[in-house]
């Protein structure tokens, strides 16, 4: 189509800006002409539900042209959900080339696993996690031993399977703990990236999910880790909820099938919004064990500080025990941040003066002044759920923690 036609259409549109079919036509032509920015601009005023798909479609093209593939995929998917006739095989195949990269099929599982394990450039184990002794023991009992010593469980007639859901404030080590569980197990740890799965085409997510479970089953014993399980919650925007529900059902089918066949596959989940986790996911055989991952207590904080100070030169004035007692309610991530700030202070002085002194207590004290516990907001919010949504005792360990920490 020629640019003249587009000019003519644009002129007509100026005269009757409320003419939706005309506007849709203009946007289509702009897309064909690869004038994506203008397409986005002209589609913005579209009001009718189905027409709104043009807005997303234009944005998808624009994102793709800017190299933002993830965004482009999500936008395209939204567009097609709003209006099925917008399905565009050519665009789809361009985006699809990249979908193959998604975490959950065949060899790609291994790649994702490697990425996950190499995230901190080394495999971590329970030894890299400060404190949490009780939690580590529970994970051993419900995840590691069943897979490592199945004959003992069999001898006692105990079925293996089901899921363990970790929940707690941000930065307190849920993902870290899962990664360490992978390290302890050594192999067969599969990561399900919900955000990736959810951003796939209609119907595709379920297929990928089934694929992942099949792979885990074929390579049993294995663990499937699902971070941010709340993304499966029913409380998302309407646009997403339809496809999310399909995924939840698929997920339930897989999980239930697993328990019945006594497959040696364990499911480990993590979330910092347990109240958004679909309650169907918490029935027996599904995420039936729920564990609170609290902010580290004083001795644990000292250990976490020690772990993060490993390989850094501290002078004799630094007393980690003292820092630990001044950091109530700090998350593991907050503590790691304190160590970073203290290090940066010493480093910047060394850069200025050329004197490479060790990190000292002043560096830490100044770092402490700049850092605040990031868990309080979560804990206060959680208090409401304990008060008003703990009928099934799901939050009992959280409740005890809040009492002890005197959080109201
Ligand atoms: N117990 C711990 N020991 C050592 N480091 C820790 C510990 N807890 C947290 N950290 C540090 O904090 C960082 C963030 O922790 P992590 O990502 O596991 O938190 P999370 O609970 O998954 O948070 P979110 O809910 O935001 O996903 C880790 O990468 C690690 O450096
Ligand atoms: Mg996490």
CATH at residue 339 = 1.10.8.60
Last residue of a domain, one of 46, 78, 99: 99
Quick: pLDDT tens for 289-318.
899 999 999 999 999 999 999 999 999 999
Q: Which residues of 3-33 are buried (b: 16+ CB within 10 A; e: fewer)?
A: eeebeebeeebeeeeeebebbbbbbbbbbee
Same domain, 136 and 233: yes
Distances (CA, A) of 148 to 48, 119, 142, 151, 220: 58, 25, 11, 9, 11
Question: Which one is predicted more confidently, 363 or 76?
Answer: 363
User: Looking at the domain assignment, is residue 386 inside a domain?
Assistant: no
Closest ligand to residue 191's CA: 2
pLDDT at 330: 97
Task: Answer yes or no: do 316 and 268 share one domain.
Answer: no
C-alpha 331 – ligand 2 centre gap (Å): 12
For residue 303, the cross-strand partners are none
In a shared domain, residues 95 and 113: no
| Residue 375, in any domain of the structure | no
Name residues with Cβ closer than 5 Å to ligand 2, which is an ion: 174-175
More confident residue, 358 or 278: 358
Query: Within a domain: residue 87?
Result: yes
Among protein residues, the one whose CA lies closest to atom 6 of ligand 1: 332
Mean local confidence (pLDDT), 160-169 = 87
Decide which of 207 and 354 is more confident.
Answer: 354
Residue 110 confidence (pLDDT)? 47
Specify the CATH number for the domain of residue 185: 3.40.50.300
Average pLDDT on 123-145 reads 89
261 and 357 in a single domain? The answer is no
Residue 176 CA: nearest ligand 1 atom is 18
Domain annotation covers residue 376: no
Instruction: For a ligand 1 pocket test, name from 124, 169, 172 the mutation site with the most ligand atoms within 8 angstroms of its C-beta.
Output: 172
* Predicted confidence (pLDDT) at residue 382 exceeds the cutoff of 50: yes
pLDDT exceeds cutoff 70 at 118:
no
Residue nearest to atom 25 of ligand 1 (CA): 170
Q: Are residues 120 and 136 in the same domain?
A: yes
Exposure string (b/e) for 65-89, b if CB count within 10 Å is 16 or more?
Answer: eeeebebbbbbbbbbbbbbeebebe
Render pLDDT for 253-271 as a digit per residue (tens, 0 to 9): 888 877 666 667 888 999 9
CA 296 to ligand 1: nearest atom: 1
Out of 22-31, 168-177, 361-370, the most confident range is 361-370
Query: Of the candidates 77, 99, 121, which is a domain's last residue?
Result: 99
Domain count, the chain: 3
According to the model, what pLDDT value does residue 279 have?
78
Task: Write out pLDDT tens, residues 179-233.
Answer: 888 888 876 788 887 766 666 666 677 777 888 888 888 887 788 888 888 877 6
Mutation choice for ligand 1 from 308, 332, 379, 382, CB with most ligand atoms inside 8 A: 332
**Residues ≥6 apart with Cβ < 8 Å to 117:** 123, 179, 182, 183, 189
Residue ranges lining ligand 1, Cβ < 6 Å? 129-132, 170-176, 270, 272, 296, 304, 307, 332-333, 336
* Mean pLDDT taken over the chain: 83
Proximal ligand: closest to the CA of 119 = 1
What's the confidence (pLDDT) of residue 327? 97
Indicate whether 121 and 85 sit together in one domain.
no
CA of 82 to the centre of ligand 1 (A): 38
Say yes or no: 116 and 76 in one domain: no
Q: Do 124 and 210 belong to one domain?
A: yes
Span from the CA of 236 to the centroid of ligand 1 (angstroms): 25
Q: Tell me, yes or no, whether 90 and 117 share the same domain.
A: no
Residue 390 lies in a domain: no
Helix (H, G, I), strand (E, B) or coil at 334: helix
- Is the omega angle on the peptide bond into residue 386 within 30 degrees of 0, that is, cis? no
pTM: 0.69
Is the same domain home to 152 and 216? Answer: yes
CATH of the domain at 91: 1.25.40.10
Question: What are the CB-based long-range contacts (under 8 Å, 24+) for 215-221?
Answer: 215/104, 215/105, 215/106, 215/109, 215/190, 216/188, 216/190, 216/265, 217/258, 217/263, 217/265, 219/188, 220/188, 220/263, 220/264, 220/265, 221/147, 221/148, 221/150, 221/188, 221/264, 221/265, 221/266
- Residue 190 half-sphere exposure toward CB, CA atoms < 13 A: 30
In this prediction, residue 106 carries a pLDDT of 35
119 has a pLDDT exceeding 90? no
CA of 174 to the centre of ligand 2 (A): 5
* Contact predicate 287/164, CB 8 Å: yes
Atom of ligand 1 nearest to the CA of 300: 1
Q: Is residue 380 part of a domain?
A: no
283 and 209 housed in the same domain: yes
Within a domain: 216? yes
Domain boundary among 50, 65, 99: 99
95 and 111 inside one domain: no
| Number of the ligand closest to the Cα of 227 | 2
The whole domain housing 93 covers 3-99
Across 66-70, 106-110, 204-208, 210-214, least confident range: 106-110
Domain-located, residue 354: yes
**Ranges 96-100, 223-227, 331-335: which has the least confidence:** 96-100
């Amino acid at each position: 189509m020629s640019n003249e036609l587009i000019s003519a259409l644009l002129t007509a549109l100026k005269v009757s800006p409320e003419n939706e079919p005309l506007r849709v036509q203009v946007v289509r032509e702009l897309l064909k002409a690869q004038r994506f920015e203008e397409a986005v601009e002209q589609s913005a005023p579209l009001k009718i539900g189905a027409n709104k798909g043009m807005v997303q479609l234009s944005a998808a093209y624009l994102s793709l042209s800017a190299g933002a593939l993830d965004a482009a995929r999500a936008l395209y998917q939204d567009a097609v959900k709003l209006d099925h006739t917008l399905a565009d095989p050519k665009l789809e195949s361009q985006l699809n080339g990249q979908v193959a990269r998604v975490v959950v099929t065949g060899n790609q599982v291994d790649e994702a696993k490697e990425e996950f394990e190499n995230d901190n450039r080394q495999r971590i184990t329970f030894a890299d996690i400060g404190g949490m002794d009780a939690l580590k023991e529970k994970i051993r009992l419900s995840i590691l031993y069943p897979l490592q010593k199945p004959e003992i469980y069999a001898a006692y007639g105990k079925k293996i399977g089901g899921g363990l859901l970790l929940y707690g404030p941000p930065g307190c080590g849920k993902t870290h703990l899962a990664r360490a569980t992978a390290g302890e197990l050594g192999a067969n740890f599969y990561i399900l990236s919900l955000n990736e799965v959810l951003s796939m085409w209609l119907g595709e997510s379920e297929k990928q999910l089934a694929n992942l479970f099949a792979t885990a089953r074929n390579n049993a014993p294995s663990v499937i880790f699902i971070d941010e399980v709340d993304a499966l919650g029913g409380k998302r925007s309407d646009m997403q909820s339809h496809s999310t529900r399909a995924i939840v059902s698929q997920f339930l089918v897989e999980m239930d099938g697993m328990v019945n066949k006594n497959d040696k596959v364990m499911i480990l989940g993590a979330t910092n919004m347990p109240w958004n986790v679909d309650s169907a996911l918490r029935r027996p055989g599904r995420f039936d064990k729920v564990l609170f991952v609290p902010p580290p207590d004083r001795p644990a904080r000292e250990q976490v500080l020690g772990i993060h100070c490993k390989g850094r030169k501290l002078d004799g004035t630094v007393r980690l025990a003292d820092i630990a007692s001044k950091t109530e309610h700090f998350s593991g991530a907050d503590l790691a941040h304190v160590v970073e700030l203290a290090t940066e202070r010493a480093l910047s002085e060394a850069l200025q003066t050329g004197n490479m002194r060790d990190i000292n207590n002043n560096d830490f004290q100044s770092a402490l002044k700049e850092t605040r516990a990031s868990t309080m907001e979560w804990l206060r919010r959680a208090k409401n759920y304990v008060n008003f949504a703990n009928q099934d005792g799901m939050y009992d360990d959280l409740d005890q923690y809040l009492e002890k920490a005197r959080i109201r």
